[in-house]
Structure 1
Amino acid sequence: MLGVLLIRKESGMTSHDVVNAIRRRIGTRRVGHAGTLDPLATGLLVVAVGPATRFLQFLPLEPKVYVATVRFGTATDTYDAEGSVTEEGAIPDDLESRVEAAIPGFMGLIQQLPPIYSAIKVKGKPMYKYAREGQEVHREPRTVHIGRYEPEWIEPGLMEATVECSGGTYIRSLAHDLGQTIGVPAHLEGLVRTHVGRFRLEDASSLEEIGPDKLVALEEALKPMPLFTLSSEQVVAVRHGRSIAMIDPPQDVRAVGLLEPDGTVFSVARVFGNMLRPECVIPEEAKALADLPE
């Protein structure tokens, strides 16, 4: 099997749990995911299968869109509903107006401090392990981009917000930091990822539904990357790691997908003037193995 699966992740599973379940179901270890979801979170997980794992870095995976449920009145050490309560506070009558006034400060490029309970490594060790051991660790802020932050109120003290953001954004931190900004403790109660780039949750399948018919072909998954069909001779050259020249090279793009004469993607190449330099390639033998029936 070779291609991309759109998985509808359930709550309680780690992203690695999903990968392991797919490995067992389809009988291959060549499975990788793009963009971790916390166990509490549900929604869209983009997964590559077989030689397609080589192309994860080239898929259009941004921006990401989430529907976040934020509970005001309590803060937790993990910034979500799985943590221990660290602070409690009353819900003010003007909560909604405070939130509306604060949200512009979270738009555009912002500096975000990741939660201490996160998988980011410090000196080779995930931060959540330091936290569990009660150790303080220095956290470096990250630059992230928030394109949309649109709140709707479910009930007093409970907000559902649509958030469009760059990869690497911690929605847990957005919820916690919003509470700190307005002076009302808050944490993330639920999270659903609805979009990863142009991939949509409504097109995703459960783990029980996956199979060859659910695979998105690379030539479809890589769009809107330009795709070029090569001659058999050019394919051989690229598979041997050689750059190839183009008479009419693409303009204003950094990478292109390369197709075999039958229309299947076998490489992504970087564009240098009129030259295409192979960046990743599916060897002929790997493609042949991927094409074998399960």
Structure 2
Amino acid sequence: MTAPNGILVVDKPAGWTSHDVVARTRRLAGTRKVGHAGTLDPMATGVLVLGLGPSTRLLTYVVGSDKEYLATIRLGASTTTDDAEGESLGWAPADRIRAITPERLSAAVEHFTGDIEQVPSSVSAIKVDGKRAYAKVRAGEHVALKARPVTVSVFEVLATRGAVVEGNVALDVDVRVVCSSGTYVRALARDLGVALLCGGHLTALRRTRVGPFGVTDAHELDGLDVAAALIPPATAAASLFPVLALTDDQAIDLGHGKRVTVDSDDVDITAAVSPGGRLIGLATVRDSTARTIVNFPDEDQTTGADDATADEETR
């Protein structure tokens, strides 16, 4: 029986960690060679891209792709985690919430659109002195993370509605966010609340796209048929990079690490595919010469766990 090899897009349910999804997939697929391209918080749902077998090597390139989210930001209170799972740090006066006009909200959202400097949430997977920030926070330590550049290409208000939470007036804002890898939507909620002088946190988050992989490609874990749901390595790579079609001889040579002469313009990364449709590797082309960056041997040529998991990611 051939071991599974390909990209699997899962619709992560609420309450599951990304590691939970990987563990379930390992059992369903009968292999430990499973990794994921970017963590989603337990509260979040939506697109989680997994790699199985040699295709875990593609995850490095998936994790750097831009992401799209649908989220709900509650204006009126900040929390210790910048989302609904944390403890409230206090509520703003009701008249301050009622003073948030569409114009003020739009101006604040625009301020956090484009190339910005963002301080990640302290409860994140970023490593500080060798430990995850969230672990240090849970241990009672104070964590102050440095701002870093991110790109928020779309920050769009879809709807607003008033809310009353335990007697406190709040404003719920539904948004769509398209952003670079490393952007924290929770931090956008926090910073929007700061800008409007009322506090803010995330109450709902759904990732709808990671690079070329969207919710229409995603499968629920219940009743999942891994073999039927797998996107073949060559198909997945072709959605990320231009394709370099090889001859049989070129495929053999490139697969063995040799440089081959090809009829192609220069390209930084290309998916090199054999005549039979197998992904030979990712290659770079310069002056009509292709060389491998990462090779993708057949499953029976690989050994070891080959797991690839990106723990720090947008959420």
The alignment's TM-score, normalised by the length of structure 1, stands at 0.92
Task: Give the match for residue 136 of structure 1.
Answer: 142
Distance 1:36 1:230 in 2: 35
After TM superposition, give the deviation of residue 136 of structure 1 in Å.
Answer: 2.2
Distance 2:192 2:27 in 1: 41
Distance 1:272 1:203 in 2: 34
What amino acid maps onto 1:81 in structure 2?
A
Cα pair 2:12 2:47 within 8 Å, conserved: yes
State how many pairs are aligned: 287
Structure 1 gap segments, 5+ residues each: 290-294
Q: Which moved more, 1:266-275 or 1:55-64?
A: 55-64
Task: Give the match for residue 261 of structure 2.
Answer: 245
Alignment CA distance shift 1:96-1:179 (3 Å): same
Cα deviation code 1:197-235 (max 9, x no counterpart): 121112211112232111111222122522123233222
What amino acid maps onto 2:16 in structure 1?
M
Alignment CA distance shift 1:154-1:102 (3 Å): closer
For residue 244 of structure 2, the aligned residue among 228, 233, 237 is 228
Cα pair 1:59 1:221 within 8 Å, conserved: no
Query: What SS class does the counterpart of residue 98 from structure 2 fall into?
Result: coil
Task: Give the match for residue 67 of structure 1.
Answer: 70
For residue 95 of structure 1, the aligned residue among 95, 100, 114 is 100
Q: How does 1:91-130 map to 2 (within 5 A)?
A: 91=94, 92-97=97-102, 98-130=104-136
Alignment CA distance shift 1:202-1:230 (3 Å): closer
Distance 1:284 1:23 in 2: 19
Q: Relative CO higher for 1 or 2, CA cutoff 8 Å, sep ≥ 6?
A: 2
Alignment CA distance shift 1:70-1:123 (3 Å): same
After TM superposition, give the deviation of residue 137 of structure 1 in Å.
Answer: 3.1
What amino acid maps onto 2:45 in structure 1?
T
Q: How does 1:140-155 map to 2 (within 5 A)?
A: 140-155=146-161
Distance 1:22 1:73 in 2: 39
Alignment CA distance shift 1:106-1:29 (3 Å): same
Distance 1:214 1:55 in 2: 17
Distance 2:72 2:89 in 1: 19
Task: Give the match for residue 55 of structure 1.
Answer: 58
Q: Which moved more, 1:199-208 or 1:106-115?
A: 199-208
The alignment's TM-score, normalised by the length of structure 2, stands at 0.86
Alignment CA distance shift 1:68-1:19 (3 Å): same
Cα pair 2:68 2:208 within 8 Å, conserved: yes
What amino acid maps onto 2:125 in structure 1?
A
Task: Give the match for residue 168 of structure 1.
Answer: 182
Q: Percent of aligned positions with the same letter in both sequences?
A: 37
Distance 1:286 1:174 in 2: 45
Matched, 1:195 2:209: yes
Distance 1:262 1:60 in 2: 28
Displaced runs of 4 or more, over 6 A = none
Task: Give the match for residue 216 of structure 1.
Answer: 231
What amino acid maps onto 2:221 in structure 1?
L
Query: What SS class does the counterpart of residue 216 from structure 1 fall into?
Result: coil
Distance 2:63 2:28 in 1: 26
Query: What SS class does the counterpart of residue 57 from structure 1 fall into?
Result: helix
After TM superposition, give the deviation of residue 87 of structure 1 in Å.
Answer: 2.6
Cα pair 2:66 2:180 within 8 Å, conserved: yes
Q: CA RMSD in A?
A: 1.9
What amino acid maps onto 2:245 in structure 1?
T
Q: Which moved more, 1:43-52 or 1:206-215?
A: 206-215
Alignment CA distance shift 1:102-1:285 (3 Å): closer
Distance 2:240 2:176 in 1: 25
Task: Give the match for residue 49 of structure 2.
Answer: 46
Alignment CA distance shift 1:96-1:63 (3 Å): farther
What amino acid maps onto 2:137 in structure 1?
A
Matched, 1:180 2:194: yes
